């Protein structure tokens, strides 16, 4: 069981998939140099520049070509560099990749894995920091994944590449250097949450880098005798309603925290679903701890304004009584 970084875990998943299946290839800008975060380092040497394809700065073509190449029998891994730039390829993802199978009556599938590094990272400001995962959950046809640990990045990316569905795979830029144990060969199902910490008082549902923030909050609260359960959804579509409901049956208190803007964020969907289907489990009104609806700033003190911190989470939980 090697201890590796989140970055290396992603690379390992790609490397193993490419070794196992010659139809898997990667396309994106600067991949030959390892990609902007080094998550492809060395892969061009192993697989050649046909399969580690360094492309022009043409996001629409990167995504569109991947759709065509998937229809034509390959399994492309699409690198968008920053999730923000995927917006230059949104027709190709939403109207083409996500719809082709359906509108062509099942004649074809589009097995692409779209890696979209997301989230706040080192004063990256408004165009390099966003968490737009909720947008994709709205689109029928897409699977949406947001791993929080090296083991999850390895296990979920491996499964995503093998999936026949288009997967939006959102790694968090602030997690690249996080280390953890990874069991080789241990892939993970999509749609199955992980209970990152057990507890009987409050169910805290989250994903991606916020899992670590919620775990910090758990430590603070534990000193006060409050035991929260931290549920890492791992994937947002499908999302593991059952695990959340089981936890609520125990706690009766729901908190969702996420890095994204709260308005129309995925927390809204979770609260709505739980209210509609499991209202009877709730002993208190559910709470969202999310970012205000302002762009992300450059100056660190302003950037901090949108950050959901362990303090924010623990404060919110204390107010639940």
Partner 1 sequence: MPKSNLDISRLKERYHTMLRIRAFEEFAIKAADEKLVLGAIHPSIGQEACAVGVCAALRQDDFLLSTHRGHGHTLAKGADALAMMRELFGREGGICGGKGGSMHIADFSVGMLGANGVVAANINIAAGAAHAAKLLGQDKIAVCIFGDGAINRGPFLEGLNWASAFNLPVLFICEDNQWASTTRSKDVTGGDDPVKRANSLGIKGESVDGNDVMAVEEVTTRMVTEIRAGAGPRLLHAKTYRLLGHTSVDKAAYRPDGEADGKWAECPISRTKDLLIRAGVSESEISKLKADAAAEMNAAFEEAKVSPWPAISDAYSDVQDIGSIKPMDT
Give the whole-angstrom CA distance, residue 316 versus residue 309.
Answer: 11
**Measuring CA to CA, how many Å separate 226 from each of 199, 204, 314?**
8, 12, 10
Question: Apex CA 173: angle with CA 167 and CA 176, to 5°?
Answer: 100
Burial-class residue 321 by CB neighbours within 10 Å (0-12, 13-18, 19+).
Answer: exposed
Tell me the closest approach of the beta carbon of residue 56 to partner 1, in angstroms: 6
Q: Are strands 52-54 and 202-206 parallel, antiparallel or unpaired?
A: unpaired
How big is the CA angle at 113 (ends 3 and 160), to the nearest 5 degrees? Answer: 55
**Interface with partner 1 includes 190 (CB under 8 A)?**
yes
- Exactly one of 36, 41, 61, 282 binds partner 1 (CB under 8 A); that residue is 61
Q: Is residue 19 part of the contact set for partner 1 (CB under 8 A)?
A: no
- 69 near partner 1, judged by CB under 8 A: yes
CB closer to partner 1 out of 2 and 238? 238
Asked whether position 90 contacts partner 1 by CB under 8 A, the answer is no
Which residue, 72 or 184, has its beta carbon nearer to partner 1?
Answer: 72
- Please state whether beta strands 75-79 and 113-115 pair in parallel, antiparallel, or not at all (unpaired): parallel
* Contact status: 2 vs partner 1 (CB under 8 A): no
- Here the tokens at position 320 are 């639940």
Give the residue carrying structure tokens 């004649």: 107
276 noted as active-site residue: no
**Should residue 142 be labelled a site residue for partner 1 when binding is judged by CB under 8 A?**
yes
- Taking the least distance from each CB to partner 1, the nearer of 101 and 173 is 101
Query: Apex CA 267: angle with CA 261 and CA 272, to 5°?
Result: 135
By CB under 8 A, the residues from 191 to 250 that bind partner 1 are: 191, 237-238
96 near partner 1 (CB under 8 A): yes
Residue 73 interacts with partner 1 (CB under 8 A): yes or no: yes
Least spacing, CB of residue 302 vs partner 1, in Å? 33
**Known catalytic residue at 133:** no
- Closest distance between partner 1 and the C-beta of residue 144, in Å? 9
Specify the DSSP element, H or E, that contains 229.
strand 228-232
Stretch that binds partner 1, among 70-78, 119-127, 217-225, 313-321 (CB under 8 A): 70-78
- State which residue, 134 or 287, has the beta carbon closest to partner 1: 134
Which residue is catalytic, options 8, 29, 44, 59? Answer: 59
C-alpha 247, offset from chain centre: 22
Does the footprint of partner 1 cover residue 28 (CB under 8 A)?
Answer: no
Question: Would you tell me how many other CB atoms lie within 10 Å of the CB of residue 313?
Answer: 28
Stretch that binds partner 1, among 36-44, 100-108, 128-136, 296-304 (CB under 8 A): 100-108
Catalytic choice (128, 194, 212, 258): 128
- Copy the structure tokens of residue 264: 């129309």
Q: Is 303 exposed, middle or buried (0-12, 13-18, 19+ CB in 10 A)?
A: middle
Q: Under the criterion CB under 8 A, does residue 55 sit at the interface with partner 1?
A: yes
Catalytic residues: 59, 128
């Amino acid at each position: 069981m090697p201890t590796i970084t989140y970055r290396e875990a992603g690379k390992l998943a790609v490397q193993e998939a490419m070794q196992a299946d010659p139809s898997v290839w990667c396309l994106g800008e600067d991949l030959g140099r390892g990609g902007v975060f080094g998550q492809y380092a060395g892969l061009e040497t192993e697989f050649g520049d046909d399969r580690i394809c360094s492309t022009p700065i043409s996001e629409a073509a990167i995504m569109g070509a991947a759709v065509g190449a998937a229809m034509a029998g390959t399994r492309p891994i699409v690198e968008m560099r920053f999730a923000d730039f995927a917006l230059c390829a949104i027709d190709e993802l939403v109207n083409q990749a996500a719809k082709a199978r359906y509108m062509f009556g099942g004649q074809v599938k589009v097995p692409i894995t779209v890696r979209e590094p997301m989230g706040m990272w080192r004063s990256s400001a408004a165009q390099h920091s966003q968490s737009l995962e909720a947008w994709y959950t709205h689109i029928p046809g897409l699977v949406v994944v947001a791993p929080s640990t090296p083991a999850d990045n390895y296990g979920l990316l491996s499964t995503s590449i093998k999936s026949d569905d288009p997967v939006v795979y959102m790694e968090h830029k602030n997690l690249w250097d996080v280390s953890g144990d990874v069991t080789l060969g241990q892939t993970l199902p999509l749609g199955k949450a992980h209970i990152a910490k057990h507890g009987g008082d409050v169910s805290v549902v989250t994903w991606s880098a916020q899992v670590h923030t919620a775990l910090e909050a758990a430590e603070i609260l534990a000193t006060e005798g409050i035991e929260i359960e931290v549920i890492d959804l791992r994937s947002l579509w499908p999302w593991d309603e059952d695990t959340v409901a089981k936890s609520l049956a125990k706690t009766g208190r729901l908190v969702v925290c996420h890095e994204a803007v709260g308005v129309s964020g995925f927390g809204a969907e979770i609260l709505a679903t739980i209210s509609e289907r499991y209202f009877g489990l709730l002993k208190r009104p559910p709470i969202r701890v999310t970012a205000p609806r302002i762009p992300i700033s450059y100056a660190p003190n302003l950037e901090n304004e949108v950050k959901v911190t362990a303090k924010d989470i623990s404060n919110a939980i204390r107010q639940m009584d």
